[in-house]
A and B are shown apart, each in its own frame.
Chain A
Amino acid sequence: MGEAVSRPYRRTMPATWWLTNRAYFLFMVRELTSVFIAIYLVLLLVLISKVAAGREAYEAYLTFLGTPAVLAFHVLALAAALYHSITWFNLAPKGLVVRVRERRVPDAIIAGSNYLAWIAVSALLWWVVL
């Protein structure tokens, strides 16, 4: 004995780390919203190509969109997209520092204006399309 010892113990993160606490889990959900959005974008691109391909193709595709599985996907995708929007707007002030007359604009105001823009854009699109 008598020899000096320093033998640090190293811990590793399990692949399931994101299940170990709520915040990590919500983070993972946030990141995975991107998968739903990507799939949706592909479906949208197909929709546009079907519009180009003609009425029949378009209508057949609408029927496909109406099948329960695809509908269910879109409902989930909508939830994911909403989650994305909310987390995104809440985090947006982080990278952004806005100053008015030497005073930093509070994060809540920046986030708030994002929400307003969101509502306006959504309403506009809804009105244009429908």
Chain B
Amino acid sequence: MTSAMTDNVPATATGCAIPPESAKRIYARMNDIRNFENKVRECFAKGEIPGFVHLYAGEEAVAVPICEQLTDSDQITSTHRGHGHCVAKGCELNGMMAEIYGRATGLCKGKGGSMHIADVSKGMLGANGMVGGGLPLAVGAALRNRNLKTGDITVCFFGDGAANEGTFHESLNLASIWKLPVVFVCENNGFGEATPQRYASASPTIAERASAYNMPGAQVDGKSVVDVYTTVGEAIERARNGEGPSLIECHTYRMYGHFEGDEQTYKAKEGDEKAFADKDCIPLFKEYAVKHGLFSQHDADEIEEASIERVEEALRFAQESPLPSADSLFEDVFS
């Protein structure tokens, strides 16, 4: 691992490790997440979507470049803010939108909703409404990878707030003593609900907790696709080589509220926090990619248009899909 892993300042890009094909897919998926989320937000405001909806918008540069480096048989665990992880891991937008609409054609037949979208066949082990609930699951998936010697690895996404749950402690300790192929990715967006991370966590950074588990820890600018790609890429490499787990803290920020309806009075209106909030990872990446010749402006235009079309199509699909049948209430409790 580079020294960035233990450095206190976000790493900066030193070159481009991202192949052009990957860069295009990354850009497409970042757009898919943003467009999908904006659409969900719009339909939630119209009252078409019920329940709790936690949007990932603004954090695309975390999940997407990480999942780009995973195969379908690698697993990820997710959070209540899971739409982004789903898209990044390759879940179908149609099935996702239908799920959020509670339709029979949803990825979970409409029985899970926003907080539980899953597609195990894609290695997406489910959005998870329990904060900290995904960490032990990731340890288990990684244990399976170790025992069955499949070469698969597991990426565990969790928030800065989740890092104060006991499951964080137990899971990192277990993964370390068993040297499991897992990468713990903390999405530090500065808040757990309305509570700042700097109040809730005794340690200034989450990354520095890695040393308590004898594993490498690093911080990275979570708005930079390249930084995330590179640093987490090294951790993924470590995991694949059987060198054990790592903890990477990605500094990011929610574009919207904790959930839809949140007035966000706790967000800074000026200063460093506001400046960081205003950095948008999507145009930043486009600019970088075009400048470094990963794709052209024309490619970008095409990708953007196609993404909008996909999301429109997903919405149509969801809206036209049937509700689940009454019988399905009783199904799927046991195999």
Q: Do A and B come from one complex?
A: no
> What residues of chain B have their CB less than 8 Å away from a CB belonging to chain A?
none
> What residues of chain A have their CB less than 8 Å away from a CB belonging to chain B?
none
